[in-house]
Amino acid sequence: MPPATRLSPAIVAQYPKGPGRDGQSMKDTDPDLTADLLLHAYTTGIFPMSEHRNDPEVFWVEPRRRGIIPLDGFRISRSLARALRRDDYTVTLNRDFMGVIEGCADRTETWISDKIAGLYEELHDAGFAHSVEVRDETGLIGGVYGVALGGAFFGESMFSRRTNASKIALAWLVAHLRNGGFRLFDTQFLTSHLASLGGIEVSRAEYRSLLAEALAYPADFTTPALPRSGHEVVQFNTQMS
């Protein structure tokens, strides 16, 4: 985690004109950090992280280079297409949000602290945070979760307990976001894993422009039905790319 400066909730509330916007991250240890404040942070282009599971501190992060997945540019490799078409799994929406959070946090190093997990649970209960779950006969094998505001979806984390499970979750999520009329899929950072799926980096200025446009656009995460099969996900992506 890069160096950080302290940022109180009062300053976060004024974040568009507050200090530290050119830095990579800022800290907040104020116990009054709330789900509402977190939503406001998203609208200004920042998001929370912690250093470990039991960390009482929250870092506010605004990358200079932002990772996004263009919704018309999701890349399905031949191997992923085969995995999707096998349909030896079940995909659900918002059936086990905290199970997905736990799956994402269940690793040696995690930025998802108990405090952050609790805030996202509140956002889920309020209808802002959502999860896509992937199951097989053994139980939950993968998933992804994030926050939906306007036409923007902020992907927070994903996990996989079986080969390709997180990629399957992302493929279904992208199809669902398209069906719901979303304009922006924010992945925060670009990893090699996300780049292989079509992820790109944009500048902070370009991201702010994309975010403003997306937030002003009405989209619907909960009403559209999920695709009927993995074959439909592959076909839909091929038609839209």
The pLDDT tens digits of the residues spanning 109-125 come to: 788 888 889 999 999 99
pLDDT at 28: 53
Same domain assignment for residues 34 and 147: no
* In a shared domain, residues 53 and 91: no
Asked if 40 and 121 sit in the same domain, the reply is no
Same domain, 199 and 234: yes
Residue 30, pLDDT > 80, answer: no
**Residue 15 has what pLDDT?**
37
Q: Are residues 51 and 156 in the same domain?
A: no
What are 152-201's pLDDT values in tens digits?
Answer: 999 999 999 999 999 999 999 999 999 999 999 999 999 999 999 999 99
| Total-model pTM | 0.87
Count of structural domains within the chain: 2
* Residues 197 and 82 both lie in one domain: yes
User: Would you give the distance in Å from CA 89 to the centre of its chain?
Assistant: 22
Whichever domain contains 75, its CATH number is: 3.40.630.70
The mean pLDDT of 125-137, rounded to a whole number, is 97
Burial (Cβ within 10 Å: 0-12, 13-18, ≥19) of residue 197: buried
At a CB cut-off of 8 Å and minimum separation 6, what does 45 contact?
Answer: 62, 204, 207, 208, 211
Is residue 23 pLDDT above 80, yes or no? no
Percent residues over pLDDT 70 in the chain? 86
Confidence of residue 20 (pLDDT cuts 50, 70, 90): very low
Q: Please tell me whether residues 157 and 181 are part of one structural domain.
A: yes
Least Cα distance to 115 among 58, 157, 47 occurs for 58
Q: Are residues 58 and 84 in the same domain?
A: no
pLDDT at 3 > cutoff 90: no
Domain boundary among 63, 83, 108: 63
Same domain? 165 vs 220: yes
Domain span at residue 218 reads 67-240
Whether residue 193 sits in one domain with residue 114: yes
Phi first, then psi: what are they for 78, rounded to 5°? -60, -40
Same-domain check for residues 143 and 196: yes
At 234 the pLDDT is 95
Mean pLDDT (whole number) for 138-153:
98
Q: What is the pLDDT of residue 53?
A: 77
- Give the residue from 22, 44, 63 where a domain finishes: 63
Q: Tell me: pLDDT of 4 over 60.
A: no
When mean pLDDT is compared across 50-54, 126-130, 133-137, the lowest value belongs to 50-54
Q: Which of 45, 63, 81 is the last residue of a domain?
A: 63
Give the residue from 215, 207, 217 showing the smallest Cα distance to 62. Answer: 207
Residue found under tokens 């995995």? 83
Is residue 148 located within the same domain as residue 191?
yes
Res 72 pLDDT > 80? yes
Average predicted confidence (pLDDT) for the chain:
86
Convert the pLDDT of each residue in 200-213 to its tens digit: 999 999 999 999 99
Per-residue pLDDT for 5 more than 60? no
